[in-house]
Amino acid sequence: MHNSSLSNQSAASTVRGADPGTVAHGHAHAKAILFGEHAVVYGSPALAVPLHGLGAQAEIRATPGRESRIESQLFAGPVRAAPEAMAPVVAGLQAALETTGDPDAEVLLRIRSAIPHSRGLGSSAAVATAVARAVAAHRARVLDHATLHTIVQTAETVAHGRPSGIDAWAVATHLPIRFQAGQANAIDVGDRLIFVVADSGHHGSTAEAVAGVRELRDSQPGHTNGAIARLAEITEDAIADVRSGDRVTLGQRMTQAHAVLASIGVSTPTLDGLVEAALSAGAHGAKLTGGGRGGCVLALADSDEAAEALALALRTAGAPRTWTTEVSAT
Ligand code: MEV
């Protein structure tokens, strides 16, 4: 069984002298949480998969003597004038420059991301990862997983308050991961899994969704802790299904997990409607993914043809866009 720890590698190392004239690039992909969102905040396990088709790119160059600038879809201008929405990017850039030994560097940072933000797909973590990788490449450094994770968590803390850390891991590794209490392990996949991701068209704030669950846990601890325990159980069972390649049971667990997430207030009528539409169109199972209260639904298809039909059904049911992604057998 492949169950390698991803977190205990050596520290960042310099591979050659930095060339300030260099233009360097960094990339990261989106992620989808298959099981365990919200419960993972309380130390339960979660399972995340990479969404390779959706990515964020960063490009960086030194601009000595000129103040640092950012150019992105959201904002173009001096870093000091960046709006609140860019605060996680600015924090990530600063942390990356500090970690690589040049905190006062004057740079031009360009960001392009195809990952829609506030959709539970890890957009903020992917952008921060792309930025950190670009800064490291520019400084001719190689960042190990743990150092990269620390930089991205700095940005994620600005974006989401107290993130569990799963997004920071999931956008930076090409493998499905089991994540728990800061520790990420790659897991084997017994059979090819094809997922359709459907955008609900509504923003979902992870910070607000996490705060909502925390409030519910304060006011209704029995119910909320029971739901968290049930999500943990479903996640462990689902990891066994992923390993054995049992799509049918895996799908059923997705639908069960959606019902538990709905019971702690993070679904919406739109998300419930998309789950229903996916099941009616033949999905093995479907659930919201990520923080919820908006964002996306994830559905498990039986084949490439079934995924096409599922995507069409989800768009017909109102999803403004869908993406299909596969997790390959290992
Ligand atoms: C967000 O992708 C997943 C949540 O569990 C929050 C977190 O883990 O930090 C909702």
Express each pLDDT in 143-183 by its tens digit: 999 999 999 999 999 998 889 999 999 999 999 999 999 99
Nearest CA to 109 out of 55, 58, 57, 67 is that of 58
CB 171 within 8 A of CB 32: no
| 100 plus 229 within the same structural domain | no
**Any idea what the CATH number is for the domain that residue 311 is in?**
3.30.70.890
Residues of the chain with pLDDT under 50: 1-4, 7-17
**How buried is residue 326: exposed, middle or buried, by Cβ count under 10 Å (0-12/13-18/19+)?**
middle
197 forms beta bridges with: 298, 323
Distance CA 187, CA 182 (A): 16
Model pTM score: 0.92
Ligand 1, residues 164, 169, 261, 267: which to mutate, most atoms within 8 A of Cβ?
164
The SS3 assignment for 316 reads helix
SS (H, E, C) 64-87: CCCCCEEECCCCEEEHHHCCHHHH
pLDDT at res. 161: 86
Would residue 5 count as lying in a domain?
Answer: no
Residue bearing tokens 């800061």? 182
pLDDT at res. 141: 92
How far away, in angstroms, is 184 Cα from ligand 1 center? Answer: 14
**For the CA of 120, the nearest atom of ligand 1:** 2
pLDDT at res. 329: 85
pLDDT at res. 6: 53
Domain that holds residue 294: 188-327
pLDDT at res. 1: 33
DSSP element (H, E) containing 228: helix 221-244
| 154 plus 245 within the same structural domain | no
For the chain, the helix, strand and coil percentages under 3-state DSSP, each to the nearest 5: 40, 25, 35
CA atoms within 13 Å, Cβ hemisphere of 160:
30
| 196 plus 288 within the same structural domain | yes
Would residue 6 count as lying in a domain?
Answer: no
322 forms beta bridges with: 198
pLDDT at res. 81: 98
Would residue 15 count as lying in a domain?
Answer: no
Q: Does the C-beta of 156 come closer than 6 Å to ligand 1?
A: no
Domain boundary among 184, 203, 235: 184
Residue bearing tokens 């992923």? 242
| 65 plus 193 within the same structural domain | no
Would residue 18 count as lying in a domain?
Answer: no
Domain boundary among 184, 219, 252: 184
Give per-residue burial for 59-74: e unless 16+ CB within 10 Å, then b: bbebeeeeebbbebee
**Any idea what the CATH number is for the domain that residue 91 is in?**
3.30.230.10
The SS3 assignment for 130 reads helix
Q: Does the C-beta of 40 come closer than 6 Å to ligand 1?
A: yes
How far away, in angstroms, is 271 Cα from ligand 1 center? Answer: 17
| 204 plus 315 within the same structural domain | yes
Distance CA 297, CA 266 (A): 12
pLDDT at res. 20: 57
Distance of CA 236 to the CA centre of its chain: 20
| 57 plus 113 within the same structural domain | yes
Q: Does the C-beta of 120 come closer than 6 Å to ligand 1?
A: yes
| 167 plus 258 within the same structural domain | no
Token representation of residue 326: 């596969």
Q: Does the C-beta of 33 come closer than 6 Å to ligand 1?
A: yes
Domain boundary among 184, 210, 238: 184
- Computed over every residue of the chain, the mean pLDDT equals 93
| 134 plus 150 within the same structural domain | yes
| 178 plus 194 within the same structural domain | no
| 322 plus 201 within the same structural domain | yes
How far away, in angstroms, is 206 Cα from ligand 1 center? Answer: 7
Overall domain count for the chain: 2
Strand boundaries in the chain, DSSP class E = 13-14, 23-35, 46-62, 69-71, 76-78, 107-113, 141-142, 177-180, 183-186, 193-199, 285-289, 296-301, 322-327
Q: Does the C-beta of 164 come closer than 6 Å to ligand 1?
A: yes
Would residue 143 count as lying in a domain?
Answer: yes
pLDDT at res. 21: 72
107 forms beta bridges with: 62
Would residue 16 count as lying in a domain?
Answer: no
Would residue 3 count as lying in a domain?
Answer: no
179 forms beta bridges with: 46, 184
Would residue 7 count as lying in a domain?
Answer: no
| 175 plus 54 within the same structural domain | yes
